[in-house]
Amino acid sequence: MNIRLVLTLTVICILSMGQLHSRTGFARLQYEGGGDWYNDPEVLPNLAKYVNKTLNTDFPTDQEIAKAGEAKLFEFPFVYMTGHGNIRFSDRELENLRSWMLRGGFLYADDDYGMDVSFRREVKRLFPERELIELRPDFPLFSSYFTFNKLPKIHKHDEKPPQAFGLFDDAGRLMLLYTYETNISDGWADPETHKDPLEVREQALKFGVNIVYYVTNK
């Protein structure tokens, strides 16, 4: 490929970062380590449909897949990851993820029960100089569109209180949102997948709207 074209494409990707818009859509992060990064493939399409209905947007409703070490990652300002098992990034993947996040990329990670230890380990490798900060209900994301007095708890797991954590850049932008002991994204699945009551799924989808709205308007 012509080097000038490569540079042009890179500049376009960088300039588009942080601008979550309807032409881009949401992507799921594929990772190594043995965890089931692929589970419940309907959650992002269902979220996109609900967001489009609620916010009058037109996000694509097909799930895109992004790998941590590939240039394609820079096509997506909003990337989601989940799983029950181990997560492991190579040094190259960490470098690419870090660059993507610092240039405007946003990662939403939802523990599907079992990824907490490895996820926290990899976040520390990704940003050793930064700490995950717990987000309280007065953080603007909780009231960016719908108002939540607390983080919804979709599945019991170990019956610990649900928690949300954020990782911020030097300008105070939320680069990463991590939800633990809540399993928000399970509530985005089809009704028959987990057989959650309608009101529980509605709470999860509304919080998903808040995430998208917050990232879009921040």
Residue 10 C-beta-side C-alpha neighbours within 13 Å:
10
Helix (H, G, I), strand (E, B) or coil at 81: strand
Measured CA to CA, the distance from residue 31 to residue 90 in angstroms comes to 10
* Spatial distance between the Cα atoms of 181 and 143, rounded to a whole number of angstroms: 20
First to last CA, the chain: 35
Per-residue pLDDT band at 23 (split at 50, 70, 90): low
CA of residue 209 relative to chain centroid, distance = 12
H/E run at residue 214: helix 198-217
In this model, does residue 214 exceed pLDDT 80? Answer: yes
| Predicted confidence (pLDDT) per residue in 133-175, tens digit | 999 999 999 999 999 999 999 877 777 899 999 999 999 999 9
3-state secondary structure of 204: helix
Tell me the two tokens of residue 72.
Answer: 């394609």
For the cut 90, the answer to whether the pLDDT of residue 76 exceeds it is: yes
Cβ-proximal residues to 8 (8 Å cutoff; 6+ apart), any chain: none
Percent of the chain with pLDDT over 90: 82
Q: In this structure, what token pair is assigned to residue 32? A: 């190594």
Domain spanning 26-217, CATH class: alpha beta
Task: Please indicate whether residue 166 or residue 16 has the higher confidence score (pLDDT).
Answer: 166
| Confidence (pTM) | 0.89
